[in-house]
Amino acid sequence: ELTYFNGEFVEPGEKCVSIDDRGYCFGDGVYEVTRVYNGRCFAFSYHQDRLYRSMREMDIPVKMPPDDLQELHEIMIEQSGITDGYIYLQITRGVSPRHHAYDRSKLEPTMLMYIRPIEEDLSKLAAGVKAISLPDERWLHVDIKTLNLIPNILAQTKAEKKFAYSAILFRDDVCTEGATSNVFAVKDGILYTHPANNLILKGITRQMIVTKVAPSLGVTVIEKACSREFIENADELFFTDTIGGVIPITKLDRKPVGNGEPGPVTMRLRDGYEKLLHEGMA
Ligand code: PMP
């Protein structure tokens, strides 16, 4: 494990975040999680683009140019010696006495990064996981990767209390995404997922599936808002996220998805994604 805080490498616990940091008080900040595999950041440019977009949308000034950010990621991998793990990056709006409105000119963003190894056995996810459905109670700009994750935290906790891996969220009758991931459905060999608008986070893993893996396997993708009925009757369902990759869902609300086994299209996509990850080709 290696931690970077505002321009220097620090021991965990060495630095104290100010009690007036807006990230601490308001969740006023953005973050990214990038997979490190074979000693390299996977799909780094996508994470970088999403981070700068989140900062633009949040009106947080960029202090570190893209080349330096990339170099810092590479240095962290090299210095930590971690070849299989992830890098967490967080930028808050900075420190000022608590007041909702901010003055951009008086704030210096706080930047935290750390690299940690992945210790759990991710391969067991291939056997499929259970999901529950929950209402999507988030705000209308979840396309911005902000630190404010209260509805996600509550939904994920509810899911785990029911021994599910995660929750599938529904905004009214529409399946948006997972509590910590994107959601895909397969029906009659066609892949469906919610369009990348303000109602979902445009996941990098999702982008890899939609623009690279599915086309290379000849799988048609339709980006549309799917109803609860459609999701409940899907042949296959899966989650995607940076850490777990493609995660088959074999049970939804205690009912089997399809025949209750990870589906064939899901597993082809999973294999295709793993290949991409192993080759570092993104
Ligand atoms: N949606 C939400 C709400 C998430 O928190 C995440 C990331 N954990 C994702 C989707 C997946 O994004 P990515 O593939 O970039 O990890």
Instruction: Name the architecture of domain 2-119.
Output: 2-Layer Sandwich (3.30)
Number of the ligand 1 atom closest to the C-alpha atom of 33: 16
What are the sequence ranges of the domains in the chain? Answer: 2-119, 123-279
User: Could you confirm whether 224 is annotated as catalytic?
Assistant: no
Question: Is pLDDT above 80 for 187?
Answer: yes
ipTM above threshold 0.95: yes
Chain-centroid distance, C-alpha 185? 18
Question: Is pLDDT above 80 for 281?
Answer: no
Residue 282: per-residue pLDDT: 67
Judge if 2-119 and 123-279 fold alike in CATH terms. no
Residue 173 Cα to ligand 1 middle (Å): 21
DSSP per-residue codes, 72-102 = HHHHHHHHHT-SSEEEEEEEE--B-SS-SS-
In tens, the pLDDT along 70-81 reads: 999 999 999 999
Q: What is the mean pLDDT of residues 243-248?
A: 98
Residue 105: per-residue pLDDT: 94
Cβ–ligand 1 distance for 205 under 6 Å, the answer yes
Residue 242: per-residue pLDDT: 98
- Cβ(90)–Cβ(23) under 8 Å? yes
Instruction: Look at the domain 123-279 and name its fold.
Output: D-amino Acid Aminotransferase; Chain A, domain 2 (3.20.10)
Q: Classify burial at 196, counting beta carbons within 10 Å of its beta carbon; exposed 0-12, middle 13-18, buried 19 or more.
A: middle
HSE on the CB side for 56, CA within 13 Å?
Answer: 7
Closest residue CA from atom 6 of ligand 1: 181
3-class secondary structure per residue, 191-241: EEECCCCCCCCCCHHHHHHHHHHHHHHCCCEEECCEEHHHHHCCCEEEEEE
Cβ–ligand 1 distance for 193 under 6 Å, the answer no
